[in-house]
Amino acid sequence: MTTDEIRNLIAGTRAPARSGEWLEKLRPADGALLCRLARSGAEDVDAAVAAARAAQPAWAERTPVERGDVLRNQAQLLRERRDEAAEIVVAETGKPLELALGEADAAVEMGLFVAGEGRRSYGRTTTASMKHRTVLTVRQPLGVAGLITSFNTPLPNIAWKAFPAVFCGNAAIVKPSEEVPASALFFAELALEAGVPAGVLNVVQGRGAEAGVALVEHEDVDLVSFTGSAATGRWINETAGRRLAKVCLELGGKNALVVCDDADLPNAIRWTLASAFSNAGQRCAAASRIVVFDAVYETFREQLVAGARTLEPEPVISEAALERMLGAVAGAAAGGATVLAGGKRSDGAGFKLAPTIVEGASANDEISRTELFGPVTLLYRVSSLDDAIALVNDSPYGLTASVHTASLHRAMCFAERVQAGVVVVNGGTHGSEPHMGFGGVKDSGTGWREAGIEALDVYSDWKVVNLIADPALA
């Protein structure tokens, strides 16, 4: 595929924006122009929604087994072309190839998991008060789904939504992040090649404020599934909620990792470095608050700073994102916090920030409450598990949390009381897999879970079927 002009995919055909306008996408690794993408607007969204509406009924007529088989084909094609997919992701995001390959594999696994649901998508049978009445539940598609995604792990972000949405018999329009247009087009073209009918999975490229808004506001979109920031999610919930569309939100986090005085320190350091700095901290589940018991604080801090200094700075997605992170760190320093590592733009081309550790910010400071979505983590000191849990819960967000301890009692107490959708003991703040429902509480989401069979609940409605038999007619 050519990566110099990334178009929309509507009804199986690549098309530029109707306005003929393009946006520029820069390569994070060196700041050079990577490609142009269609700058779509309401007319393009209209065309994609019409294509989806037209294609959906025939797709929904196919059995779940058939739909699963087609998606299995797509997952297998993606596996065969994982190198090509990963190269696109590396160019668009600047992340290491190994990480991009792992993400391609994760998207494949999501496809295979969902495909298996074709033969396993169980409903329920239940009792009834009336004799000879049999009651069962079946899944129904919703119709047309708008899928809006973030840039951080481009292939899994789309796979987590598109596979279950399409499997459930919907047609969909993906509005990928304007930072990762080519990987989205690659994914949707593989779907076509695998046998997903034209119009069932469409892509509309462009800005959130233009193409994204048009998709959210479109009267003929039955469901909006969004992965991105809490601020945008709040607006989407209000806007699509007004017409009573279903809205699934997977939002940000300010995830905490707690290190108790009985923790295995080398293990805690290893997981902290991975959770805070892998993918340049651009993970919704990144550990951006590290809460350490007094007794081990000095040792932990010394080893963490030493570990962070050994890491190669990786690019963040854009110049604007880098400026925002540098501004937040400078603001914290001006307010009295100390920058122990990083905090500066790395030399050379590209949008690179060295792994950054800040200590001495209070729980109420802006940097403690704002998700930076970059390689910046904060250190806090506590004297007890109660204090640690109180600090962890003193956040607008509640996506993931981790505790490092040798005590089963402390681990269970933390798991019970922490406000988060995912809890990890003695590991990182991330680690989801395709069969595990993922999502958060408070400003991290609205209760839906992506991945796992829970994802099918997002993209389908339950219908209760009552069958009443008359034995006299038997």
Known catalytic residues are 250, 284
- b/e per residue 111-147 (b: at least 16 CB within 10 A): bbbbbebbeebeeeeeeeeeeeeeeeeebebbbbbbb
Residue closer to ligand NAD by CB (options 185, 296) is 185
Residue closer to ligand NAD by CB (options 17, 213) is 213
Euclidean distance between CA atoms 46 and 148, whole angstroms: 16
Using CB under 6 A, pick the residue from 37, 148, 182, 191 that binds ligand NAD: 148
Euclidean distance between CA atoms 64 and 70, whole angstroms: 10
Residue closer to ligand NAD by CB (options 56, 432) is 432
Using CB under 6 A, pick the residue from 178, 222, 314, 359 that binds ligand NAD: 178
**Is residue 152 close enough to count as binding ligand NAD by CB under 6 A?**
yes
Euclidean distance between CA atoms 107 and 101, whole angstroms: 10
Residue closer to ligand NAD by CB (options 237, 356) is 237
Binding mask 103-142 for ligand NAD (x = CB under 6 A): ----------------------------------------
**Is residue 205 close enough to count as binding ligand NAD by CB under 6 A?**
no
Euclidean distance between CA atoms 352 and 344, whole angstroms: 9
Residue closer to ligand NAD by CB (options 208, 342) is 208
Euclidean distance between CA atoms 293 and 39, whole angstroms: 50
Neighbours of 301 (CB within 10 A): 17
Residue 220 has phi, psi (to 5 degrees) of: -100, 15
**Is residue 250 close enough to count as binding ligand NAD by CB under 6 A?**
yes
Euclidean distance between CA atoms 52 and 67, whole angstroms: 16
**Is residue 225 close enough to count as binding ligand NAD by CB under 6 A?**
no
**Is residue 232 close enough to count as binding ligand NAD by CB under 6 A?**
yes
In whole angstroms, the minimum distance from the beta carbon of 241 to ligand NAD comes to 13
In whole angstroms, the minimum distance from the beta carbon of 109 to ligand NAD comes to 16
Cα distances from 340 to residues 1, 327, 359, in angstroms, run 45, 16, 7
Binding mask 256-285 for ligand NAD (x = CB under 6 A): ----------------------------x-
**Is residue 235 close enough to count as binding ligand NAD by CB under 6 A?**
yes
Residue closer to ligand NAD by CB (options 212, 355) is 212
**Is residue 93 close enough to count as binding ligand NAD by CB under 6 A?**
no
Q: Kindly write down the DSSP assignment for every residue of 123-135, as one continuous string.
A: --EE--SSTTEEE
Euclidean distance between CA atoms 400 and 420, whole angstroms: 5
Q: Answer for the pair 24, 33: CB distance below 8 angstroms, yes or no.
A: yes
**Is residue 332 close enough to count as binding ligand NAD by CB under 6 A?**
no
**Residue 50, C-beta contacts closer than 8 angstroms, at least 6 positions apart:** 220
Binding mask 415-434 for ligand NAD (x = CB under 6 A): --------------------
Which segment (67-75, 223-231, 297-305, 406-414) binds ligand NAD by CB under 6 A?
A: 223-231
And the tokens for 202? 């469409």
**Is residue 251 close enough to count as binding ligand NAD by CB under 6 A?**
yes
Euclidean distance between CA atoms 167 and 142, whole angstroms: 12
**Is residue 203 close enough to count as binding ligand NAD by CB under 6 A?**
no
| Touching ligand NAD, residues 343-402 (CB under 6 A) | 371, 373
CA atoms within 13 A on the CB side of 122: 4
Position with the least CB separation from ligand NAD: 208
Residues forming the site for ligand NAD (CB under 6 A):
148-152, 175-178, 207-209, 212-213, 216, 227-229, 232, 235-236, 250-253, 284, 371, 373
